[in-house]
Amino acid sequence: MDLRIPPFRAVRMVIHWFSLWDNLERQLFLSTLSSLEGIDPHLSTEQQPITDSNDYNDNVSDQMMDIFLADLMNSNLQINYAPSTVFECQLRSFRNWYPQWPMEQRLQLAYSLKEIQLRSTG
């Protein structure tokens, strides 16, 4: 049985999920996205000014720790007695789908996530 979902449909599903997630789930998702991209897309609307090099280094260290922890959480380390939550299943699906998406779908996702973030903070 072929369970692959066309990228345009998968993007719509992920956008829908994102709109329903709470702030913690959104932050975990964004950390996962940044680890998949190898960059820090920071789709939030908040901007934190960097005042000196020590603040910059602390900020980078914090971001790297967040990415490391998100990767650790998503690296199939499962505790045997705890069943997966719906969010964990959604995140696992996203991690499987995203590397296969063409740039058009990745850009569509980034644009839509930014729009949702702007509406929720607006």
Judged by DSSP in three states, 74 sits in: helix
CA distance 77 to 23: 23
Phi and psi at 110, nearest 5°, equal -60, -45
pLDDT at 43: 47
Rounded CA-CA distance 48/59 in Å is: 9
Q: In the block, which residue shows the tokens 């964004």?
A: 30
Q: In angstroms, rounded to a whole number, what is the distance separating the alpha carbons of residues 107 and 113?
A: 10
How would you class 110 by CB atoms within 10 Å of its CB: exposed for 0-12, middle for 13-18, buried for 19 or more?
A: middle
Q: Which pLDDT score is estimated for 78?
A: 55
SS3 at position 53: helix
Nearest to 60 by CA among 39, 74, 75: 39
Q: What's the pLDDT at 4?
A: 80
Per-residue pLDDT at 68: 66
Chunked into runs of 10 residues, the chain (122 residues) has average pLDDT values of 81 97 95 83 45 53 68 61 87 95 96 93 74
pLDDT of residue 22: 94
pTM of the model: 0.64
